[in-house]
Structure 1
Amino acid sequence: MSSHLSDAFLAFAVPECRETSTLYCSLTEAIAADEDLLLIAGQAPVGQPVPNLLFAAVHYLLVADPTHPLAEYYATCTAEPKDSTQAFPAFKDFVLSHQCEIIELLQTRLVQTNEVRRCACLFPAFMYALRYFDPQPLALLEIGCSAGLNLLWDRYRYEYDESGKEYGDRDSPTLITSEFLGKRSAGLEDSLPLVTQRIGVDLHPVDVSLPTEVNWLRALIWPEQHERRKLLEAAIQQQQEVELDLRTGDGFAEVSSIAAEIPADTLLCIYHTHVANQISREKGQAFLEAVRELGRHRDLLHLFNNLYDAHLRLQVYRGGILTRETLANTDGHGRWLEWLA
């Protein structure tokens, strides 16, 4: 049995889904002890979060044909799911009976969860960071953009408590709710910036005009989380009304060449969330050096997590001088943020 994979599933169960998906938590702990399923899960490429990928592959196939008994445990397939702690036998049967299709998905798909609610953390972080600069046009460059939905952080509407007070684009059809734990960031009510370029780079950008691609994004969302799916649908609708420049490539390696396209009078905003953990330490250091070199010649800001730790961090290059700040501790799905700056 693969102890490494078993540990990965156990680690996924505790911090990731114990409080947010009773189904996945129960299944994850059982998978961690099942040699047959670990062997199949091990077909995923190196660097991918294997539990997420396996669950998405199963979810994708099950929703397309919910005739298997496993569907009775999934909230996306039935209005009254059965006891999730009893789901494992049906789950294992489904995986074994769909082994070829699942392995193909494991080997050809990526975990590209376009978690729109993460914009609830991006919005205050950007509004705070922009206070370092005079008002000017922005060029957004998101690395690991998936479908590009988080390139629209300035086009969404936000609520952070139950008072009903809204921030961001108050005319937006997409409402994102979240919560500050403790103090709030400065800049929430500042004027929204003018964004002139929205560039997203991904190894496999998701084209939301294709139903199969949208279905994969849906499959990446856990079955019980209806609100996440509703938010995804609203953001996809809005994305189709905005001009995005989505590119296939390695944004970490290509940041310098992309930056060369950005006019000097435009503030370059580089950001990435929950993707840097999929690259090597050496590649991460090379990327940071490339950003440092860019910062010697132009103003820019770099917003990120998962390079050093899970905290949301900011690098500001202004007049060739680097300022670093740890901005926030955030929930991985954007449900809350603890402002630290």
Structure 2
Amino acid sequence: MSEHEHERVAAVYDDFGRRWAHGTSPLFEDWATGIAADPAAVARIAALPRRLQQPNLVFAAARWAGCDLVPYASWGSWLAAHWDAVVAITETRSTQTNEPNRCATLLPVLSRIDGPVALLETGTAAGLCLYPDRYSVDYSTPSGRLRVDPVAGPTTFALACTVDDEASVPERMPEIVWRRGIDLDPIDAADPDAVAWLATLVWPGPDHDARVARLRGAAAIVAAERPEIVRGDILEVLTDAARDAPSEATLVVFHSAVLLYLDAAQRRRFADLVGGLGAAIGRRVVWLSNEVAGTLPEIDARLPASLDSSQRFVQTVDAVPVALAGQHGAVYETRPFAR
């Protein structure tokens, strides 16, 4: 294994700890920066296929294998002793984090679309984000809290999101008349083992404790609905999956933290595919994206020069940046893009 590959892995883990886990999951920050500074750990991870090297996957696999949530000084030794078991889990699992709280950052856009809406999510996992209209949401605004409930009434749990402008809070739920997902390996929300794995992917720490309860509450709703999720590569099946959307509805193609798993050429192909989807299927299409900065150059070119997007997605509508959205849906900020 080349020295360059070791340096790359160390940089990935250091960045994960210092930029993404910092301030939100102290334990994962400690584990990630600990690995980055541990040549033996870096070498073990660098020897894995790229897909298995992801910090989220390695950490979740270790937790699935029964590790204690202890500092790296102890956890690093445990990881070395149980490395084969951890790798075996990474080979059969994936980082299909399905965070329903991201729906709180989708609703400001979806609720402002006139008329019926059809949803098509790429990288949908279990489909928990296909039901933004079925969950109660508590929005914290500069002037106080505002709650938005489903038409059928409040749910036993609520999503939570802090917004920097009260105008972002939806006045109503969108009228969603059709839903479909696409995923390489769909998850059944009715499968207890699958939901338990999704819960294991939730980061440890007080900022994340409520996420597990929301995930399980959302999974129960989705399990009762049983959404249609097409198994396949989004680059290959997107157009066919979109053709069945009702012609009278606005089709919204959306995704969160999906394009980072594609290389630059695949991202370009996906952007071109979505950009031409309306013409291909003969109806109105809105492209709603929550991805990290650096995903597509044409979007980066539209970002304010001094923008700090740490721990946030850049939300775009038809490739135009409109907001920063917390990676787990906890914040939604439009002021950086106010004109």
Is 1:278 matched up with 2:261? Answer: yes
**What's the counterpart of residue 59 of structure 2?**
55
Alignment of 1:37 onto 2:32 = no
Task: Report how many aligned residue pairs link the two structures.
Answer: 306
The offset of 1:262, in angstroms, is: 2.1
Aligned to 1:96: 80
Identity within the alignment, %: 26
Mapped contact 1:60–1:219 kept (Cα < 8 A) = yes
Instruction: Output the amino acid matched with 1:166.
Output: R
Please give the residue correspondences for 1:18-167 in structure 2 after superposition, counting only pairs within 5 Å: 18-47=22-51, 50-62=54-66, 71=68, 74=69, 87-128=71-112, 130=113, 133=114, 135-136=115-116, 138-161=117-140, 163-167=144-148
The whole-number CA distance in structure 2 between the counterparts of 1:18 and 1:165 is 29
How far 1:6 moved relative to its partner?
Answer: 0.2
Q: Which residues in structure 2 correspond to 1:269-308 (within 5 Å)?
A: 269-296=252-279, 297-306=282-291, 307-308=295-296
Structure 1 residue matching 2:140: 3-state secondary structure: coil
Match of 1:258 in 2: 241
> Is residue 212 of structure 2 the alignment partner of residue 208 of structure 1?
no
The secondary structure found in structure 2 opposite 1:218 is: helix
Name 2:329's counterpart in structure 1. Answer: 334
- Scaled by the length of structure 1, the TM-score of the pair is 0.83
**Residue 49 and residue 244 in structure 1: after superposition, are their counterparts in 2 closer, same or farther (change >3 A)?**
farther
Match of 1:80 in 2: none
1:48–1:111 CA contact under 8 A, matched in 2:
no
Aligned match of 1:181 in 151, 160, 164? 164
Q: Deviation at 1:116?
A: 1.5
> Aligned in 2, Cα 1:222/1:292: closer, same or farther, shift over 3 Å?
closer
- Conserved in 2, the CA contact under 8 Å of 1:122 and 1:153? yes
Paired residues of 1:144 and 1:275 also in contact (CA < 8 A):
yes
SS of the residue aligned with 2:97? coil
1:220 paired residue number: 201
Quick check: 2:45–2:53 contact (8 Å CA) kept in 1? no
Query: 2:61·2:89 contact (CA, 8 Å) conserved in 1?
Result: yes
Taking a change above 3 Å as real, the CA distance of residues 51 and 44 of structure 1, as seen in their structure-2 partners, is: same
Q: Which stretch has the larger CA shift, 22-31 or 43-52? A: 43-52
Instruction: Classify 1:44/1:248 alpha carbon distance in 2 versus 1 (closer, same or farther; 3 Å).
Output: farther
Secondary structure of 1:166 counterpart = strand
The Cα shift of 1:164 comes to: 4.5
Cα distance, 1:288 vs. partner? 2.1
Gaps of 5+ in 2: 301-312
Within 1, Cα distance between the matches of 2:253 and 2:202?
26
Alpha-carbon deviations, 1:277-312, whole Å to 9, x = none?
Answer: 111222222222222322223111110033435410
Deviations 1:30-67 (A, max 9, x none): 111212222332355425661111111111111xxxxx
Which residue number corresponds to residue 310 of structure 2? none
CA displacement at 1:193 relative to structure 2? 3.2
Counterpart in the other structure of 1:320: none
C-alpha displacement of 1:208: 2.6
Per the alignment, in what secondary structure is the counterpart of residue 240 of structure 2? helix
CA contact (8 A) 1:183 1:338 kept: no
Please tell me the residue identity of whatever aligns with 2:329: G
Q: Distance in 1 between matches of 2:244 and 2:268?
A: 23
The answer on whether the counterparts of 1:276 and 1:305 sit within 8 Å (CA) in structure 2 is no
CA RMSD of aligned residues (A): 2.1
Structure 1 residue aligned with 2:251? 268
Tell me the SS of whatever aligns to 2:252. Answer: strand
